[in-house]
């Protein structure tokens, strides 16, 4: 017999807010999560729907110290398209958000023509430029940075959860030491605080929704400064949504010119492309760490299907840049040199 009870019942205050605004609640359905620790539910009521988010990071925390709220305020001032926040309760750790539907960029691409896909990605890049134009006001997100320490944390996550966990430690101790030494050097190259701008931090096809044909950003609570290329490589070297190389090249050029016109960067194209490739390498290696953890320990084995496109990116990037060659060979060896 099916259990008629909903997946989750809102606390009394949230339920009262929903009833006052949309009428009686008819259903509460849990939404499929990704790699996030937050839980999401769609609440259907007589006169509308909303998304309820349970976030342990909010519970018991002053709202002025809550990262999501701080980023939402910054993005609102900048006109970034995102879900409205109807209610935020730090006593229960519950947010009530606008329902943007279910269509992620990752899925929407399958129905687009080549011209439509380029048009949508250009609009998403325009939003990125607006995010990166947010001035440093000393608020919470600007207290975090993609500096060497953070980048090495992400590289070490790969070593722990992909290399040792998922792959079963296929490299010798000497090779692991050499790989980590290369990671340290790469992180140092990318730690250029003089070039940093605010980044979404995970600007990829599963964190961009399309509602009414317009793109909206989600899952932005970990925004922080880093190289301008950080979010761009997340979008254009995305294992969830592998772009045609020609389109990716056009979009890179579009960002380069648009962002330079807006004062986001002042790099020449050669310098820009070098940072792009090295940043993409770091970002994709970090993603491989996530796939390793989610596949082996997180109970989400479907993440394994994104390992081949990610390793393909790593291989191509390492072939183009001397700074990445040895690390690329070692990673390729760890995966058995599979093509």
Please write the tens of the pLDDT for every residue from 80-125.
Answer: 999 999 999 999 999 999 999 999 999 999 999 999 999 999 999 9
Rounded-to-integer distance, Cα 187 and Cα 323, Å: 11
DSSP-assigned letter for residue 54: E
Give the pLDDT of residue 208: 98
- Class at the top of the CATH hierarchy for domain 12-98: alpha beta
For residue 298, the model assigns a pLDDT of: 86
Look at residue 270 and tell me whether its pLDDT is greater than 70: yes
**Domain coordinates in residue numbering, the chain:** 12-98, 105-334
pLDDT of residue 2: 39
Strand 39-45 to strand 25-30: parallel, antiparallel, or no bridges (unpaired)? antiparallel
The pLDDT of residue 37 is 78
Which pair of structure tokens corresponds to residue 243?
């772009």
Average pLDDT, the chain: 95
Q: Is the pLDDT of residue 142 over 90?
A: yes
pLDDT recorded at residue 8: 75
pLDDT of residue 7: 63
Query: Which CATH superfamily does the domain covering 105-334 fall into?
Result: Aminoglycoside phosphotransferase (APH), C-terminal lobe (3.90.1200.10)
Query: What is the DSSP-derived secondary structure letter of residue 28?
Result: E
Q: Is 337 left (phi over 0), alpha (psi -120 to 50) or beta?
A: left
pTM score: 0.94
Using the predicted structure, report yes or no on whether residue 9 has a pLDDT greater than 90.
Answer: no
CA geometry: angle at 311 spanning 306 and 314, to 5°? 135
């Amino acid at each position: 017999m099916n259990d008629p009870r909903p997946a989750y019942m809102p606390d009394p205050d949230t339920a009262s807010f929903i009833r006052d605004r949309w009428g009686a609640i008819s259903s509460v359905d849990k939404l499929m999560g990704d790699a996030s620790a937050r839980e999401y539910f769609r609440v259907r009521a007589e006169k509308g729907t909303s998304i309820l988010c349970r976030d342990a990071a909010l519970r018991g925390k002053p709202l002025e110290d809550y990262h999501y709220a701080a980023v939402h305020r910054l993005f609102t001032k900048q006109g970034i398209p995102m879900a409205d926040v109807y209610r935020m309760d730090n006593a229960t750790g519950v947010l009530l958000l606008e329902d943007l539907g279910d269509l992620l960029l990752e899925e929407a691409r399958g129905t687009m023509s080549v011209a439509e896909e380029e048009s949508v990605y250009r609009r998403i890049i325009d939003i990125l430029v607006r995010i990166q134009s947010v001035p440093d006001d000393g608020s919470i997100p600007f207290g975090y940075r993609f500096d060497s320490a953070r980048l090495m944390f992400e590289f070490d996550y790969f070593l722990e959860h992909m290399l040792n966990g998922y792959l079963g430690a296929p490299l010798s101790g000497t090779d692991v030491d050499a790989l980590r030494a290369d990671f340290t050097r790469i992180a140092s190259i990318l730690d250029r605080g003089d070039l940093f701008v605010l980044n979404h931090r995970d600007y990829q096809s599963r964190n961009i929704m399309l509602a009414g044909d317009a793109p909206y950003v989600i899952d932005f609570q970990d925004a922080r400064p880093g190289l301008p290329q950080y979010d761009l490589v997340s979008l254009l070297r995305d294992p969830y949504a592998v772009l045609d190389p020609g389109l990716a090249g056009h979009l890179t050029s579009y960002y380069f010119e648009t962002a330079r016109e807006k004062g986001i960067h002042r790099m020449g194209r050669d310098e820009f492309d070098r940072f792009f490739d090295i940043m993409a390498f770091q970002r994709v290696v970090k993603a491989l760490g996530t796939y390793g953890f989610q596949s082996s320990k997180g109970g989400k084995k479907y993440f394994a299907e994104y390992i081949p496109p990610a390793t393909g990116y790593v291989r191509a990037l390492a072939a183009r840049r001397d700074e990445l060659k040895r690390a690329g060979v070692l990673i390729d060896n760890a995966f058995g040199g599979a093509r």
